[in-house]
């Protein structure tokens, strides 16, 4: 039986988002799906060893087997730690004067 699954592969840059759809044989792994999608041809600079992978927002491993209608996501490293950004903003808020000023 030649069962097929349909998947999507998504990758987002700050100024560009790519979504590719592919029909693949059942039993295909995440890495095989990425390679079959052609995404690496579009982004040859993409280093998969430096990026985390997920399926619908949950981290996954390259050897995980895909299911029908899965969406593979490639996560770029964060430029800034969100906790650190919030902490800095909170400190700046304490320094700023509060109040409405003269009316």
Express each pLDDT in 40-64 by its tens digit.
Answer: 999 988 888 888 999 999 999 999 9
Domains of the chain with bracketed CATH: 4-95 (3.10.20.30)
pLDDT at 31: 95
The structure tokens 């509060």 sit at 98
Phi and psi, residue 6, nearest 5°: -110, 130
Q: Are strands 4-13 and 52-55 parallel, antiparallel or unpaired?
A: unpaired
The tens digit of pLDDT for each residue in 56-98 reads 999 999 999 999 999 999 998 766 677 877 887 888 776 555 5
The pTM assigned to this predicted structure is 0.73
Angle at 38 between CA 26 and CA 31, to 5 degrees: 50
């Amino acid at each position: 039986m030649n069962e097929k699954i349909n998947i999507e592969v998504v990758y987002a840059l700050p100024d560009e988002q790519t979504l590719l759809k592919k029909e693949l044989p059942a039993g295909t792994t995440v890495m095989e799906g990425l390679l079959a999608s052609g995404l690496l041809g579009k982004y040859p600079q993409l280093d998969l060893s430096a990026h985390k992978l997920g399926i619908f927002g949950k981290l996954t491993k390259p050897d995980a087997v895909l299911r029908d209608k899965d969406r593979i996501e490639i996560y770029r490293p964060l430029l800034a730690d969100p906790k650190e950004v919030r902490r800095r903003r909170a400190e700046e808020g304490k320094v700023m004067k509060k109040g409405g000023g003269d009316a």
